[in-house]
Structure 1
Amino acid sequence: MSNEMTNERPELIWLRPERATRGPAPAHSRAAIAATAIALADAEGLAGVSMRKIAAALGAGTMSLYTYVPKKEHLFDLMLDAVAGEWRLPDQPSGDQRADLADFARQGIAAMRRHPWTPALVLTRPSMGPNSLRCTEYFLAVMAASPLSGGTKMELFAMLNGSICQFAQWEANQREAGGSAQWQAELATYLGSAVATGAYPHLAAAFAGGETTDMDPDAVFDRFVARVIDLILAAKG
């Protein structure tokens, strides 16, 4: 049933016009509101974002902002899409699928490190605004030569995005819970004592391997996402 028939306004923010076709130009914009909300979230976390704080930063009345962004969920959609706009994508893929996907993933983890509140929000409220559609279109262009169905390609795109989000969330959790030297030392002691019991022979063998692994965050991410890309490029319909 159409919105005209039900006299209801669209629920999706992207279906709502940003400004009326008549009347004075609006004093604010969705982009400015989203940018202000992102700055607040970067500084205080998602819990620190409120229409009152956004209005104060913009020099506007709190209630007036609801004419631009009727619901907080709409604000989240605008924020996520603004972050998706930070991906610098070429007009066309290079033709090297692995390199193109790796670059896409690195831009993703960089954006999520800049905005550590994004992973949890993406995983609970995925957004498909204009910038998100641009990212989706680019992934599909990278995968254009693949014989996989469109539905499978979309699932693989969701897998890639979800993997980036999960890695970013894991990094954030590590920083929060494992930042202290005491925690690291206690973890090493615990694992050492557990392995010494002989109850975990495979874990003991893994620790006894002796190889050194580069634990630089970028190197860890590159190894992680390379395995995800292996799965994407080896996927069957």
Structure 2
Amino acid sequence: MAQDEGTGAAGVDPERLWLRPAEPRRGRRPSFSREAITVAAVALADAEGLDAVSMRRVAAAVGAGVMSLYSYAPDKETLLELMIDHVSAELPATGPLTGDWRADLKTVARLQRDHMLRHPWLPAALAAHRTPGPNVLAFLEHALAALRPSGLDGAARLEIFAQLTAFVAGHVTHELAQAEAVRSPGRAAAEARYLAAVAQDGDHPELAEALCAPRRPTDPEATFTRFLDRLVDGLDTDWSGAGLRPPGG
């Protein structure tokens, strides 16, 4: 996010942000709303990336002066929280669950991936995300319900959801970078030649063996499914040695 405005030293106050209605300062009522500001910021991020989002650009998009925005979003950190929660309304907060928690968790992950691909700035934004708003909380509630048949306690289910979200965000970041690399075939060819040379130098036998192994499908869907299966199918429901109480313990 562009660095042309200062960020409040105290950070975001979640009670003020989510539990109290946004009210403008005294004086003439502005012709825009907090939602309009958020929509404009999301549109900028979707089109140009997170670094393009600044209070100045958003103010120009809604036809307002920069200072008039601060009643609704006093700093960039607050604006980012508003953006994350706004797009999270696209995620389903309800829906049928199969009772197979691993299958349902994979569905949650696929929904997250599709969501992040629609908004490529989200993985980076989530890394600094601290104050879940109502739409984020609604999807979290759905994900925790999907995990209930696992028998894990609430703390473990929260950890698994955080682990899953971090996996999806990291994978989408890599997926977007790979898509960009495809648009630079010369660089991709140079990297392939470099790895081939390294594999033949005799100092990296493990890498040489890996590069000679049969290739897995490399299309984005197949790759994500393969990685997701490894993650979710490998989750252990025995938390007795992890500092957490085991289910029913």
- Give the alignment partner of residue 223 of structure 1, picking from 194, 215, 226: 226
- Aligned residue in 2 for 1:90: 94
- Give the alignment partner of residue 50 of structure 2, picking from 27, 42, 46: 46
The answer to whether the aligner puts 1:207 opposite 2:211 as a matched pair is yes
Mark the CA change 1:127 to 1:218 in structure 2 (over 3 Å): closer, same or farther. farther
The answer to whether the aligner puts 1:64 opposite 2:68 as a matched pair is yes
* Superposition deviation, residue 116 in structure 1: 1.2
Cα distance in 1 between the residues matched to 2:150 and 2:137 = 20
Secondary structure of 1:144's match? helix
Q: Which amino acid aligns with 1:194?
A: V
Q: Which amino acid aligns with 2:186?
A: Q
- Aligned residue in 2 for 1:113: 117
The answer to whether the aligner puts 1:156 opposite 2:181 as a matched pair is no
Q: Which amino acid aligns with 1:11?
A: D
Q: Which amino acid aligns with 2:54?
A: S
Query: Aligned-pair RMSD on alpha carbons?
Result: 2.4
Contact 1:89 1:138 in 2 (8 A): yes
Cα distance in 1 between the residues matched to 2:33 and 2:106 = 34
Contact 2:181 2:188 in 1 (8 A): no
Secondary structure of 2:151's match? coil
Secondary structure of 1:35's match? helix
Gaps of 5+ in 1: 1-7
Gaps of 5+ in 2: 1-9, 240-249
Summarize the alignment of residues 188-207 of structure 1 with structure 2, pairs less than 5 Å apart: 188-207=192-211
- Aligned residue in 1 for 2:13: 11
Contact 1:34 1:79 in 2 (8 A): yes
* Superposition deviation, residue 87 in structure 1: 1.1
* Superposition deviation, residue 26 in structure 1: 6.4
* Superposition deviation, residue 174 in structure 1: 2.9
* Superposition deviation, residue 25 in structure 1: 7.4
Report Cα offsets for 1:80-121 as digits up to 9, x if no partner.
111221113434423232332222111211111121111111
Report Cα offsets for 1:121-162 as digits up to 9, x if no partner.
101224411111011101110111222221111111100000
Q: Which amino acid aligns with 2:237?
A: A
Q: Percent identity?
A: 42
* Superposition deviation, residue 235 in structure 1: 3.4
Q: Return the TM-score normalized by structure 2.
A: 0.81
Mark the CA change 1:181 to 1:161 in structure 2 (over 3 Å): closer, same or farther. same
* Superposition deviation, residue 207 in structure 1: 2.1
- Aligned residue in 1 for 2:34: 30
- Aligned residue in 2 for 1:132: 136
Cα distance in 1 between the residues matched to 2:85 and 2:20 = 15
Contact 1:194 1:200 in 2 (8 A): yes
